[in-house]
Amino acid sequence: MTQRQKTEKKLDDIVRDIIKKRDEKRGCITCGQNCALTTGHFMKRRHLATRWNLTNVNGQCWECNSKDDWEEYKAAMITKYGEPVTESIISLARLDIRFTTAELEEKYERLKSIHNF
């Protein structure tokens, strides 16, 4: 694994832990089911600008996550955050943002200190 891949993995892991803790009581963003949550990305992980964005990532049950129904997720996003926020996430995801590994490390440290991990 390259340093870059290690840093990306660390970020994926901390975001998963933060989301699980945050959404535990709320249940799956799409069906509301209270079960073991997975990290569901509204805009896919390949969009680096929103991959570790805590609004873009929400607790989702395994079924909804694997069903991968974007329109359904979008409706749930609008219910949870409102339309303007949802649209801003879509626009942000489409920006071609390239983070350096150092910037990703900073992002990781910031998340870690804010969320007490």
Nearer to Zn ion, 7 or 65 (CB): 65
Structure tokens at 62: 């395994």
Cα distance from N-terminal residue to C-terminal residue, the chain: 23
| Shortest distance, position 27 Cβ to Zn ion, whole Å | 8
Provide the greatest CA pair distance for the chain. 39
Q: Are 89 and 77 in contact (CB under 8 A)?
A: yes
H or E element at residue 23: helix 3-23
Site string for Zn ion, 70-109 (x = CB under 5 A): ----------------------------------------
Residues numbered 13 to 42 that lie near Zn ion (CB under 5 A) are 28, 30-31, 33
Q: How many residues bind Zn ion (CB under 5 A)?
A: 6
Cα–chain center distance at 113: 18
Nearer to Zn ion, 68 or 83 (CB): 68
| Shortest distance, position 24 Cβ to Zn ion, whole Å | 14
What gap in Å lies between CA 47 and CA 28, rounded to an integer? Answer: 22
Site string for Zn ion, 50-69 (x = CB under 5 A): -----------x--x-----
Interface residues toward Zn ion, by CB under 5 A: 28, 30-31, 33, 61, 64
